[in-house]
Structure 1
Amino acid sequence: MARSDRRRSTVRASVAAALAAVLLAGCGSGTTGSSGGGDDDDFTGSVVEPPFEVAATPLTDTEGEPFSLADDTDARLTLVFFGYTQCPDICPMVMQTLTSGLNRLSDEEREQVEVVFVTTDPATDSAGVLRDYLDRFDPAYVGVRSDLDTTATVAESVGVFVADGEELESGGYDLGSHGTYVIAVDGNDEAPMFWRQDTSAAQFSSDISALLGDA
């Protein structure tokens, strides 16, 4: 087995085990990681107990500066999504719903939340392409990129699997597989919660308000 194949097998096994633990935690009761919040049933998002420890590995933002999901996320709550700009359906849907949810927050709450989009297609998503894409949702959103191996390592730390993609004969692009979760990163550089792709704007808003109140 080639080195890259062994690596992908290891990543798949690690992520599968992590997500299994997350799903089990989401079915029970407890607290939202380090936030000390209430019962899991109070949230639409899935509570991670214990929370994921976010990798400090630096990526690069659209200004060409190093950006770590652990060291450079200074907001009380950072929402992270792994996707790509050529994604025809799920990525824009999740980003638009998340944006609508954030627009429901009070001005005070909104100022405490940062959004980071990590591209899983660095070959296509240059800094300029990524910046133009995010500006359609909110110019304040942070876009980051790196080589696929580095991106996969960071994604794995928060339970997201990223696979290689390939160009289709039709001219489209099939990324193969990538996570569709929005990950919450708190001030302790831990990820205590994630939301699935079918989360509504109202559900995002409710959960985010509760997390900010508990933090």
Structure 2
Amino acid sequence: MRTPLTAAAGAAAAVLLAGCGPQAATGDDSPYNGSEVKGAFTLPDADFTDSKGEEYNLREDSAGAYTAVFFGFTNCPDICPTTMADMAQAVAELDEAERDRLNVVFVTADPDRDDPELLDMWLGSFDPSFTGLTGDLETTDAAASELGISIERPEDREGDYQVGHGSQVLLFSPEGESELMWRYQTGPDAIAEDLGALLDGEGA
């Protein structure tokens, strides 16, 4: 069951649920490459286990820094590794002070297979600073629903199966309010430019 959304959040959700569609228009006067979704979503108060085996509350433990959130799974053949590689390259373009004010969080949509050890190894191949989160299906799906992100799993989850999921990355402010959304295949240079503008207090 989806969490009720405000009218503004509902409009943003309609865009986000499109997944791999063309990038949404940002408007001629937007200073950003991504789509502005300011205040449409709030980081869920949801408890997970991080890739180091520690408890991690998505809202509380992300507070105080900008946080980019992506839902995916390690067996994903294309969207997830491409997105994480793009995020890693974007983060590498930031200076050290900017990187210290940013979290990149990968929430697995496939907790049956993605345990903390696997998440740690997989994310470490992109950027060891990235945080992987795993939780039970109910917690994962509720958090995704709050953010307008779709997840679809096959009923038979034996063997090599795929998980459908929204392909967008959502960026949240240090207060836990949504700021930007980047579509799949938004280039790392474009993402880094947006991050730099926000972290430097520009384009507000």
Same fold per superposition (TM over 0.5): yes
Which residue in 1 is equivalent to 2:144?
A: 155
Aligned residue for 1:213? 200
Superposition pairs of residues 11-30 of structure 1, within 5 angstroms: 18-20=12-14, 27=25
1:174 to 143, 156, 162: 162
Alignment correspondent of 2:41: 52
- Normalised TM-score (structure 2): 0.83
- 1:80 equivalent in structure 2: 69
Please name the residue that 1:43 is paired with.
32
Structure with the bigger percentage of helix? 1
C-alpha contact (below 8 Å) 2:75/2:162 kept by paired residues: no
Aligned partners of 2:43 and 2:117: how far apart in 1?
A: 26
Give the residue type in structure 1 aligned to 2:110.
D
In structure 2, how many angstroms separate the alpha carbons of the residues matched to 1:22 and 1:172?
27
CA 1:86–1:158 in structure 2 vs 1: closer, same or farther (change >3 Å)?
same
Partners of 1:137 and 1:28 in 2: how far apart? Answer: 28
Gaps of 5+ in 1: 1-6, 30-38
**Structure 1 residue 93 displacement after superposition:** 0.4
How many Å separate the matches in 1 of 2:171 and 2:38? 13
Unaligned runs of 5+ in 2: 18-23
- Residue-by-residue CA offset, 1:138-160 (whole Å, 9 max, x unaligned): 11111110111210111122221
- Which of 179, 195, 199 matches 2:182? 195
The alignment's C-alpha RMSD in Å is 2.8
Identity of aligned residues (%): 35
CA contact (8 A) 2:16 2:149 kept: no
